């Protein structure tokens, strides 16, 4: 599906652009640029950029950090957006054990990084600064800018985090709420918080995510004042899983809209066991919550089952409705 998805997505861009994009300007983007694909392999940066331009592609999100390529894209009127994962580097547990999120029952998460870990956040800020300083990017998309949970399945595994000592100290400092000294184990502490101060806890965790986005945005703006900031969001609405997007993963969409320019719901309908029309509802919900540009990203991979060209086209078309102002195609391989 790797090569086929690239060719298919570009072909459909051409098929629909005259009919749908003429009504309202919509950004046609691809996620990633696999330079080893046969359509690009052996071509110069200028040839690659001209090919994309001829196909109607207007932006590359998660562009390869290559000076010549980015220059060629710009020369052909194509925007170049970098992308970076934030709280997804679980390999950092080896170097910094305290970055591993602690679940409500006292066990450790098998994925993600504690979003309140100051050392880790600062390392990401420096990484973002280096990208913005060294490359002529038009903006930056933030991925995994949330607390951990597994969501690309029919029944998500909701992870209730993080109850490490650092998070508990910050929670008490920021809210003025004092944990009873009689509470000794993590399960007792988490039970007490969810019973007595759930809303303060949810707000505290969301504020950490929003504050991190602000810091990363400032790092980009230090070198690229006109750069835009986009984020990839889990495709959940308030009605999904008891508002888990707010309570569990800490993505306060309304709050994030004060610092984010573009929201990209990861509307992978097959992975989430949904019909393509579901993409519209996710886009429309985000639009009402943010009034910002929404660029859905849809899957072009045969997971967990094979996707026909007809179904892919349907997904792409639905991603252009519901208030969308752009669309991206994602191939995981």
pTM of the full structure: 0.92
Helix axis angle, 186-196 relative to 198-221, nearest 10°?
100
Is pLDDT of 3 > 50?
no
Closest CA relative to residue 223, chosen from 143, 145, 137, 141:
137
Q: What is the pLDDT of residues 38-96, one digit of tens each?
A: 889 999 999 999 999 998 899 999 999 999 999 999 999 999 999 999 998 667 666 67
Backbone dihedral angles phi then psi of residue 139, each to the nearest 5 degrees: 170, 180
Return the pLDDT at 90.
Answer: 64
pLDDT category at 301 given cuts 50, 70, 90 is confident
Q: C-alpha distances in angstroms, 325 versus 203, 258, 294?
A: 29, 18, 6
Q: What is the pLDDT of residues 96-151, one digit of tens each?
A: 778 899 999 999 999 999 999 999 999 999 999 999 999 999 999 999 999 999 99
3-state helix/strand/coil string of the chain = CHHHHHHHHHHHHHHHHHHHHCCCCCEEEEECCCCCCCCCCCCCHHHHHHHHHHCCCCEEECCCCCHHHHHHHHHCCCEEEEEEECCCCHHHHCCCHHHCCECCCCCECCCCCCCCCHHHHHHHHHHHHHHHHHCCCCEEEEECCCCCCECCCCCCECCCCCCCHHHHHHHHHHHCCCCCCCCCCHHHHHHHHHHHCHHHHHHHHHHHHHHHHHHHHHHHHCCCCCCEEEEEECCCCCCCCCCHHHHCCCCCHHHHCCCCCEEEEECCCCCCCCCCCHHHHHHHHHHHHHCCEECCEEECCCCCCCCCHHHHHHHHHHCCCCCCCEEEEECCC
CB 202 within 8 A of CB 246: yes
């Amino acid at each position: 599906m790797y090569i086929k998805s690239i060719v298919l997505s570009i072909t459909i861009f051409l098929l629909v652009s005259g009919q749908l994009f003429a009504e309202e300007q919509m950004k046609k983007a691809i996620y990633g640029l696999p330079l080893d694909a046969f359509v690009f392999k052996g071509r110069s940066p200028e040839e690659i950029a001209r090919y994309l331009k001829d196909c109607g592609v207007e932006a590359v999100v998660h562009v390869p950090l290559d000076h010549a390529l980015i220059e060629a894209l710009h020369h052909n009127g194509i925007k170049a957006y970098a992308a970076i994962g934030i709280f997804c580097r679980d390999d950092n547990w080896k170097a910094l054990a305290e970055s591993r999120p602690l679940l409500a029952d006292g066990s450790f998460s098998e994925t993600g990084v504690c979003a309140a870990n100051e050392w880790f956040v600062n390392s990401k800020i420096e990484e973002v600064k280096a990208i913005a300083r060294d490359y002529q990017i038009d903006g930056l998309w933030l991925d995994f800018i949330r607390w951990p949970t597994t969501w690309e399945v029919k029944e998500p595994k909701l992870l209730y985090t993080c109850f490490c000592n650092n998070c508990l100290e910050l929670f008490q400092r920021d809210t003025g709420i004092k944990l009873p000294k009689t509470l000794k184990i993590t399960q007792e502490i988490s039970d007490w918080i969810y019973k007595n101060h759930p809303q303060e806890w949810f707000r505290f965790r969301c504020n950490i995510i929003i504050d991190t986005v602000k810091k990363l945005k400032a790092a980009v703006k230090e070198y690229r004042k006109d750069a835009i900031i986009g984020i990839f969001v889990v495709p959940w609405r308030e009605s999904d899983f008891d508002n888990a997007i707010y309570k569990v993963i800490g993505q306060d969409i309304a709050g994030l809209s004060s610092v984010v320019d573009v929201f990209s719901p990861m509307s992978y309908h097959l992975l989430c066991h949904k019909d393509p029309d579901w993409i519209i509802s996710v886009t429309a919900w985000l639009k009402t919550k943010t009034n910002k540009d929404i660029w859905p990203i849809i899957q072009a991979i045969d997971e967990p089952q094979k996707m026909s060209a007809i179904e892919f086209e349907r997904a792409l078309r639905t991603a252009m409705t519901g208030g969308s102002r752009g669309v991206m195609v994602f191939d995981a391989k």
